[in-house]
């Protein structure tokens, strides 16, 4: 199974990915945790190019192309081989982040949806996560929690409000794949909600 964890800044995705991994391992699954942008040597190199530096460094179209270049490398070299070996893969962000950040975040005025979907289809074909958790939080709270300030964390609050709405739109459009989780709860409560959903969907007891 391929599970993705999505959301804005400071939602605790990384912590939840680790907790979910431990849970799955207790159930005897072999699990690979990974992240985007990144996950492979080439994609981690691109991560630095994209995320370090000034907020105006790239346009949303350039960014989209780079995220998908990194994503293809990640898919080809890490995600697909692991799935083929029967492992479960948990990715801290995947394609929904590009739609939320590069399309909704830029107020739909950067890359147009048609072009983004064309790039998406060339790169991923029909590949999609089996399950996506969208960790939802008020961006004012999330930004206070976020650690190192990368490019997007320096964007104004309106950007973050738009991308939150974007993630909620994505969830609405993909109700069987996406589950929205209130990320204002404690780490334990969020983790419990994730595990419950995974059990319900994939483990018959």
- Binding region for ligand TMP (CB under 6 A): 35-37, 51, 67, 93, 97-98, 101-102, 150, 152
C-beta of residue 30 within 8 angstroms of C-beta of residue 22: no
Specify the residue, 83 or 146, whose C-beta has the smaller distance to ligand TMP. 146
Concatenating the DSSP letter of every residue in 70-92 gives HHHHHIIIIIHHHHHTT-EEEEE
Smallest distance from the beta carbon of 130 to ligand TMP, in angstroms? Answer: 18
Smallest distance from the beta carbon of 97 to ligand TMP, in angstroms? Answer: 4
Smallest distance from the beta carbon of 36 to ligand TMP, in angstroms? Answer: 4
Strand partners for 88: 31
Specify the residue, 141 or 196, whose C-beta has the smaller distance to ligand TMP. 141
Specify the residue, 173 or 196, whose C-beta has the smaller distance to ligand TMP. 173
Q: How far apart are CA 140 and CA 111, in angstroms?
A: 26
Specify the residue, 33 or 98, whose C-beta has the smaller distance to ligand TMP. 98
Q: How far apart are CA 66 and CA 64, in angstroms?
A: 5
Smallest distance from the beta carbon of 179 to ligand TMP, in angstroms? Answer: 19
Question: For ligand TMP, which residue has the nearest CB?
Answer: 101
Backbone angles phi, psi at 31, to 5 degrees: -125, 140
Smallest distance from the beta carbon of 12 to ligand TMP, in angstroms? Answer: 11
Strand partners for 6: 134
Q: How far apart are CA 25 and CA 93, in angstroms?
A: 21
Specify the residue, 88 or 152, whose C-beta has the smaller distance to ligand TMP. 152
Q: Which of 20, 151, 160, 149 is CA-nearest to residue 91?
A: 20
Smallest distance from the beta carbon of 124 to ligand TMP, in angstroms? Answer: 12
- Cβ partners under 8 Å of residue 69, min gap 6: 46
Task: Give the chain's length.
Answer: 205
Specify the residue, 88 or 94, whose C-beta has the smaller distance to ligand TMP. 94
């Amino acid at each position: 199974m391929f599970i993705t964890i999505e959301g804005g800044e400071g939602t605790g995705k990384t912590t939840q990915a680790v907790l979910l991994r431990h849970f799955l391992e207790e159930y005897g699954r072999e699990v690979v945790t990974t992240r985007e942008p990144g996950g492979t040597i080439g994609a981690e190199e691109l991560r630095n190019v994209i995320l370090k530096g000034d907020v105006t460094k790239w346009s949303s179209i350039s960014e989209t192309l780079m995220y998908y270049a990194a994503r293809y490398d990640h898919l080809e070299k890490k995600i697909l081989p692991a799935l083929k070996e029967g492992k479960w893969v948990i990715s801290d962000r995947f394609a929904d982040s590009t739609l939320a950040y590069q399309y909704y975040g830029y107020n739909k005025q950067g890359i147009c949806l048609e072009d983004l979907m064309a790039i998406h289809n060339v790169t991923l074909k029909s590949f999609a996560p089996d399950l996506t958790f969208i960790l939802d939080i008020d961006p004012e709270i999330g930004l206070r929690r976020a650690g190192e300030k990368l490019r997007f964390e320096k964007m104004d609050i309106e950007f973050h409000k738009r991308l939150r709405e974007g993630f909620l739109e994505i969830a609405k459009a993909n109700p069987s794949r996406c589950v929205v989780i209130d990320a204002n709860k404690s780490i334990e409560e969020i983790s419990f909600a994730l595990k419950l959903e995974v059990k319900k969907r994939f483990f018959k007891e």
